[in-house]
Structure 1
Amino acid sequence: MSCQMCSGGVLFINRLLRGACASARAHPQRRETRAVVQLPTRIWCARRTFSDGHQKTGNNGSSGGDEGDRSDPSSSSLNPDHRTPRRRLLPGGRRPLSPLERISRLLPPDSLSPDVAQLREQSQGDVEEDPGLKDDVSSVCGALGPVVKTSDSETQDHALTHDQGDGSVPATLPGERLLMFGELLIAEYTKRRAQYKNMFILKPGERLQSNWGCVFHNDMAGQPSGLFLKTTQGFNAFIRRASLEDYVLYMKRAPTISYPKDANAMLLDMDITEGDCVLEAGSGSGAMSLFLSRAVGSKGSVLSVEIREDHHKRAVLNYNHWRDSWRLRRGEEWPDNVQFYNADLLKASSLLAGRGFHSIALDMMSPQLVLPTVLPHLHPGAVCSVYLANITQVIDLLDGIRCSALPLLCERIIEVPYRNWLVTPAHHKDGSFCVSKPIADEVEEANGNSEEKEVLTTKEQPPFGSISYIARPHHVQMSHTAFLTKLRKCFR
């Protein structure tokens, strides 16, 4: 009975494939893959019937190719440009097969008619010769079916450059590198007041989970930074490399970090240039250490001292983590110019012996206690910038300088505010732009000389200056972070 069913299924599939051949010959401009996509759903049942007899099965009895496709997260590759499907590659450079290839592979070679065998060979040759056909085939492929492995060199060439036969722009510019595993990336999604932002490490086989769906890491590797990928729920997620500001805001912390806006103001106060030697008291989570490391460059050095061991370990880990990601991102080493020490600065006079500093950054509870120790090592006329959380600490600092008669001049005490604004085009409820009429048109309408004009659709782009914009402060604002006290060494 089963043999009769198999032979009947073979004849049925052969008839369908012959019909596809006739359709392809009658309409040569149509591709065979599109003609076969609309086959009845009975073919998929026939495929399940013959898979056990003609395909290698796994432990659970399912087809090995099917199991690999379903378990591979990159089989549901996302579209970065939202308009044209892009090539979907499985691990090892494999690509999914077209429906025509999957159906024909269910049958033994000796059972195929000459027309069907010729059509299968022709479709395979077209996929190998025409890159555009490969993209179309991949766009209609499902998650089922065996896979065809391609060489690693072909996969690498496809990841590095686009097809340049028609003079298209290369995928990378000089000095640019594509995303690779091990890098630190930022995923963002913003729609009205709903905002998602997350920093993660790109790893093979993993996925980025969120309330708006997930994005597979394999779809990001080999792509340029700054691309949009659709999540499994259809939302557009913006993927880019993490900047130093992003890293210090989203890295693991021990104590509270020095926020980038305050760190930049401190760098300006201290007037740090490449080649300077800087002392940092209070490593914390390593945020300020990274900003100082970038400011002094490969010719300079930073001495960072932390009294707490757990804070010291966290600062070292964060610093090394950023350096590892930078090496993958740029292909060069981040300057190893920060020396971390777990010590009490009041009792570490031997650590400062024979050293001179162009500037000093203090981020600690009672900086007035260490000023008599570090001040002799500060160059005359140089600046000591102090990061304090509340105004009471500022008062204690100035009172300690007065009582100790230290040669320091308090130039200023500032608080760095930050105010984010939202500036966006105004839209109607249907999603169309709110177009404002030019003054000349309003005068014509008032005089009764206006003519009927075409209604602007959502797909058309209105001319420059005709869109109404909405500008208002962001509903989430960063409040107080710290007081920055600028002290300059002087002679009295």
Structure 2
Amino acid sequence: MAVHAPFRLLLVRRLVSICTSSQRRSGPKDGLVKLSTSGRQTRTFSTAAVKRNDNEGDTSDSSPPSTELTFRQALLSKRRRPLSPLERVSGLLPRDALSPEVTQLREQNQTEPGEDANTRAEEPNTSACHQEERPPLSTLPGESLLTFGELLVAECRRRRVEFRKMFQLQAGGRLQSSWGIVLHEDMVGQHAGRFLKTSMGVSIFIRRASLEDYVLYMKRGPAIAYPKDAATMLMMMDVTEGDSVLESGSGSGAMSLFLSRAVGSKGSVLSVEIREDHHRRAALNYQRWRSSWRLRRGEEWPDNVQFHRADLGAASPLLAGRGLHAVALDMINPQLVLPNVVPHLHPGAVCAVYLANITQVIDLLEGLRCSALPLLCERIIEVPVRVWAVGPALQKDGRYCTRMAPIPDADLRRGDEASDDTSREETTTEEVPVPVPVPAFGSIPYTARPHCDQMSHTAFLVKLRKCVR
């Protein structure tokens, strides 16, 4: 027995160590089993409690368990969210070592998710109340607010216009761009010429479309007579209210609109087009502008343009009995129709011809020389327009540049001494933030250069005047 005593003692210690290691290995599994079992019991209990209360008809005791369960599920869902690197590092550091920003972020993450849901649910109602309680806007005499059916232009302005679009206000419509969305309902009832915020918080400038905007952005068939050329042609022809004007080549209707405004309600414009698709497009663009003008001003745009689909070279019956104060031709071969047009043009009146290239100008002059028509070629011009970008000079940080005056040597020495004194004072005193002063008038240099977006060549304008020989 004395021999086996040490062996028994060693065996007992070995068994104790094996049991201890097995308990350590099985401890987490048992904990998981107990946790899952308790979870099943909790779910079973809550369901049973709800069923029992439904049967008894008392709902006062059923709300707390369901609320508690919802809160636990929210916490579990929040715990499953993957942590960001900042949250992982901040969770390992003590609270005293964290910056105020990180501390605030940790406190926000520890808030209850129910509060955020309630706050989010209340936000749409608040914004809807603000939209409903919008006060009525005051208007100046003769001013009208935006209504459905008007033609508007949206612009995104920063250092230059980066976005421009013409659209028509429609019920249920919305303005879409790369900078966000603006609902058409938010524009109705507003002043024209104001900034509105998109869904991304970018300011979009909303204004009514002018006749120049409409001509540039309306739907086109062929190329249009650009406003700079149309204005010059009106000055050449000296069109005034009450005149009777002939236009050959309706195109997309741009020149027809300019002539319609120039002759007024007492005048008339006869627009002739040989192609069916161009004739239809010009008439639609003209009617669309008249409808928008009626909503904008509350009065009718003069219905003084007659669109005809015909060949002016063989349309003598169309011009029978007419006297013309001016003629505007936008054709490939205008010299072919001049023999039918010139007899109806008043003596001393002007025929303005819109030609795209210089070879057409040469053909026109050669046709006049061969036909011996009573026309004098007064001018052949091109209307260039150069856009300039002029603005205050800015530094890289966005501040204005300032003009530096030359400093004499004596003032330079005094300035160095003063700067040394101020530097000594700053070392002894605390720094106080000084407000940035507004630069005085004339103290900021300006830069001026041709703009990067320039209009290229559009056409040559030929001024022909009828003479009596």
Q: Same fold, TM exceeding 0.5?
A: yes
Give CA-to-partner distance per residue, 1:436-466, whole Å, 9 cap, x none: 2467x889954736978999867x6422212
Residue 476 of structure 1 is matched in structure 2 by 453
| Residue of structure 2 in register with 1:354 after alignment | 321
Q: Counterpart in 1 of 2:92?
A: none
Map residues 330-341 of structure 1 onto 2, 5 A cutoff.
330-341=297-308
**Cα 1:457–1:337 shift into 2, 3 Å:** farther
1:367: which partner in 2? 334
What does 1:16-35 correspond to in 2, within 5 Å? none
Asked if 1:212 corresponds to 2:212, the answer is no
SS of match in other structure, 1:209: strand
Amino acid at match of 2:141: P
5+ residue gaps, structure 2, are 1-48, 51-58, 68-110, 423-431
Question: 1:304–1:456: structure 2 CA closer, same or farther, 3 Å change rule?
Answer: farther
Counterpart position of 2:124: 143
Shift in CA distance, 223/444, structure 1 to aligned 2, threshold 3 Å: farther
Q: Distance in 2 between matches of 1:334 and 1:396?
A: 38
Aligned to 2:369: 402
Q: CA deviation at 1:273?
A: 0.7
1:412-423 pair list within 5 angstroms: 412-423=379-390
Aligned in 2, Cα 1:310/1:457: closer, same or farther, shift over 3 Å?
farther
* Residue 203 (structure 2) aligned to one of 236, 245, 256: 236
Q: Which has the higher helix share?
A: 2
Q: Verify the 8 A CA contact 2:393 2:400 in the aligned structure 1.
A: yes
Q: Label 1:463 to 1:307 Cα distance change in 2 as closer, same or farther (>3 A).
A: same
C-alpha change, 1:150 and 1:422, in structure 2 (3 Å) is closer
Measure the CA separation in 1 of the matches of 2:256 and 2:173: 31
Cross-structure match for 1:425: 392
For the 8 Å contact 1:432–1:457, the answer to whether it is kept is: no
Which 10-residue stretch deviates more, 273-282 or 420-429? 420-429
Give the AA of the match of 1:448: R
Structure 1 residues 386 and 443, CA, compared in 2 at 3 Å: closer, same or farther?
A: farther
After superposition, the C-alpha distances for 1:380-400 in whole angstroms (9 at most, x for unaligned) are: 000000000000000110110
Inter-partner Cα distance in structure 2 for 1:309 and 1:183: 28
Please report how far the alpha carbon of residue 412 of structure 1 lies from its aligned counterpart in structure 2 after TM superposition: 0.2
Residues 240-294 of structure 1: per-residue CA shift (max 9 Å, x gap): 1111000000000000000000000000000011111100001000000000000
Q: 1:150 to 1:269 in 2, by over 3 A?
A: closer
Counterpart Cα distance in 2 of 1:309 and 1:479: 29
Structure (1 or 2) with the larger CA radius of gyration: 2
Is this contact kept in 1: 2:379–2:463, CA < 8 A?
yes
1:304 paired residue number: 271
1:27-176 equivalence runs, <5 A? 41-43=113-115, 45=117, 142-144=123-125, 158-159=135-136, 161=137, 171-176=138-143
Q: Do structure 1's residue 448 and structure 2's residue 414 form an aligned pair?
A: yes
2: CA distance, partners of 1:189 / 1:149: 25
- Give the drift of 1:378: 0.5
Instruction: State the Cα deviation string for residues 152-202 of structure 1 (Å, max 9, x = none).
Output: xx87xx34x2xxxxxxxxx31110111111111111113346711110111
Q: 1:326 to 1:146 in 2, by over 3 A?
A: closer
The verdict on how the C-alpha distance between 1:258 and 1:395 changes in structure 2, with shifts beyond 3 A counting, is same
Distance 1:245 1:456, change over 3 A: farther
Q: How many pairs are equivalent? A: 358
Are positions 1:462 and 2:439 aligned together? Answer: yes
In structure 1, distance between residues paired with 2:468 and 2:243: 22
Structure 2 residue 392 is matched with structure 1 residue 411: no
2-side partners of 1:253 and 1:367: how far apart?
22
**SS state at 1:142 partner:** helix
Distance 1:229 1:246 in 2: 20
Whether the 8 Å CA contact 1:438–1:466 is kept in 2: the answer is: no
Question: Partner amino acid for 1:315?
Answer: A
- 1:36 alignment counterpart: none
Q: Distance in 2 between matches of 1:5 and 1:144?
A: 30
Distance in 1, matches of 2:358 and 2:131, equals: 65
Who is 1:78 aligned against? none
Distance in 2 separating the partners of 1:423 and 1:146? 40
**Residue 412 of structure 1 contacts residue 485 of structure 1 at CA under 8 Å; is this kept in 2?**
yes
1:6 and 1:341 map into 2 onto residues whose CA distance is 79
Say whether 1:489 aligns with 2:466.
Answer: yes
Give the unaligned 5+ runs of structure 1. Answer: 11-38, 48-98, 104-140, 162-170
Q: Distance in 1 between matches of 2:382 and 2:227?
A: 13
Kept in 1, the 8 Å contact 2:157–2:205? The answer is no
Q: Report Cα offsets for 1:355-390 as digits up to 9, x if no partner.
A: 101000000110000000011110000000000000
State the match for 1:188 in structure 2: 155
SS of 2:328's equivalent in the other structure is strand
Distance verdict in 2 for CA 1:194–1:332, change over 3 Å: closer
Which one of the candidate residues 387, 391, 394 is aligned to 2:354? 387
Q: CA 1:198–1:407 in structure 2 vs 1: closer, same or farther (change >3 Å)?
A: same
Q: Which of 257, 267, 290 is residue 224 of structure 2 equivalent to?
A: 257
Any conservation in 1 of the 2:179–2:198 contact (CA below 8 Å)? yes
Following superposition, the deviation at residue 212 of structure 1 comes to 1.9
State TM-score, norm by structure 1: 0.67
- Decide whether the 8 Å contact of 2:355 with 2:361 is kept in 1: yes
Q: Give the 3 Å change call, closer, same or farther, for CA 406–196 of structure 1 in structure 2.
A: same
* Superimposed CA distance per residue, residues 397-452 of structure 1 (whole angstroms, 9 cap, x where no aligned partner): 0110110000000000000001001112222222222122467x889954736978
User: Per the alignment, do residues 198 and 412 of structure 1 end up closer, same or farther by CA in structure 2, a change over 3 Å counting?
Assistant: same
Q: CA deviation at 1:217?
A: 1.4
Whichever residue aligns with residue 143 of structure 1, its letter is: P
Find the aligned partners of 2:193 and 2:331 in 1 and give their Cα distance. Answer: 38
Aligned to 2:45: none
The equivalent position to 2:310 in structure 1, one of 330, 343, 361, is: 343
Measure how far apart 1:236 and its partner are. 1.8
Change (3 A) 1:274 1:449: same
Shift in CA distance, 231/146, structure 1 to aligned 2, threshold 3 Å: closer
SS for the counterpart of 2:204 is: strand
Q: How has the CA–CA distance of structure 1 residues 431 and 149 changed in structure 2, closer, same or farther, with 3 Å as cutoff? A: closer
TM-score normalised per structure 2:
0.70
